[in-house]
Chains A and B, each alone.
Chain A
Amino acid sequence: QKEVEQNSGPLSVPEGAIASLNCTYSDRGSQSFFWYRQYSGKSPELIMSIYSNGDKEDGRFTAQLNKASQYVSLLIRDSQPSDSATYLCAVNMGARGSNYKLTFGKGTLLTVNP
C-alpha cells in the first residue's frame, strides 16, 4: 500500500525559531508533493508545492525535496503563533499533470509559543 508518513508531533517551537516538518513517502515514482496547513476545525489550505529535487522558497516557507531518499520537508522561518496548526504532507503518486488523487500523511501538529 502506498503510504505517506509524518511525525504526528506535537512539535513545539518558540516564537522566532525555525520549525522543521518532515515527511517520507513509499512510492518512488511520485512526482508532485504538497504541504497543506490545517487550522483546527478548518479545511486544508495549500501553502507549498514542489516537483523537483532541491529547495523551493516562498516567503518564510521553504520546501525541500529529495527523491532519492523519498523525503520531503517544510521549514518555517521566524515562526509565529499564527503558524500553529496541523501541517499535512500530500503526495500525488501519479504522473505530473495527471490530476491523480493525493495521498496524505496524518499531519504534524505544530505549536509556536509566544
Chain B
Amino acid sequence: GAGVSQSPRYKVAKRGQDVALRCDPISGHVSLFWYQQALGQGPEFLTYFQNEAQLDKSGLPSDRFFAERPEGSVSTLKIQRTQQEDSAVYLCASSLSDEAFFGQGTRLTVV
C-alpha cells in the first residue's frame, strides 16, 4: 500500500477486555515500530521488529502487552485485561532505513 495502515481507527474497550490492534506497514519496509502516545505527549517507544524478529520490547509497559509479526509484514499489538491507564493512541511506524513513517494510529479508550 501507499502508506502505513492501522485498524481499527478507534476502539472502545471495557476494563478487563482484551484488544488487538493491527498494523500493515509500507510494502518492503523491514522495520516496524509500535509507539504509545498519551494526550499532550510525544510518542513513547513500545517495541521494534526487524522482519519477523522482535529485537526490542523494552518499552512494553507490562506483561499484558504483547506484539507479534509472524510473517515479517503485518503486525498485531495485543493488550490483555485492559486498564484505564492503557487509554492512548497507539501508533505504528515502518522504516526501510533511517526515516520512519507513521500510520494514522488507533485511539484506544478503556471505560
> For residue B98, which residues in chain A have a CB less than 8 angstroms away from its CB?
32, 49, 51, 92, 96-97, 99
Name the interface size band of chain A.
20 to 34
In the complex, which residues of chain B have a beta carbon less than 8 angstroms from the beta carbon of A107?
Answer: 41-42
Nearest chain A CB to B59's CB is how many angstroms away? 8
Q: Is A17 at the interface (CB under 8 A from chain B)?
A: no
The answer, among B44, B97, B100, for a CB contact under 8 Å with A97, is: B97
A45 — which chain B residues lie within 8 A by C-beta? 102
* Bound Cα distance from A46 to B3, whole angstroms: 13
Interface residues of B in 43-66 (CB under 8 A from A): 43-45, 48, 50, 56, 59
A-B pairs under 8 A by CB, number: 58
B interface size (C-beta, 8 A):
26
- Cα-based distance from A103 to B42 in the complex (angstroms): 9
The answer, among A4, A43, A99, for a CB contact under 8 Å with B103, is A43
Is B105 an interface residue, CB under 8 A from the partner?
yes
Whole-angstrom distance between the alpha carbons of A34 and B102 in the complex? 13
Task: Please determine whether A88 and B42 come into contact, CB atoms closer than 8 angstroms.
Answer: yes
B99 touching A49, Cβ below 8 Å: yes
Cβ contact of A104, chosen from B40, B43, B103, cutoff 8 A = B43
What B residues does A106 contact at CB under 8 A? 40-42
Interface string of B91-111 (1 = CB under 8 A from A): 101010111111111000000
The 10 closest A-B pairs by CB, nearest first: A104-B42, A99-B31, A101-B45, A43-B102, A43-B105, A106-B42, A44-B102, A32-B98, A104-B43, A43-B104
- Interface residues, chain B, with chain A CB atoms under 8 Å away: 30-31, 33, 35, 40-45, 48, 50, 56, 59, 91, 93, 95, 97-105
The 22 listed contacts between A and B (C-beta, < 8 Å) are A4-B42, A42-B104, A43-B91, A43-B103, A43-B104, A43-B105, A46-B100, A46-B102, A51-B98, A90-B42, A92-B98, A96-B98, A97-B97, A99-B30, A101-B33, A101-B48, A101-B56, A102-B45, A104-B42, A104-B44, A106-B40, A107-B42
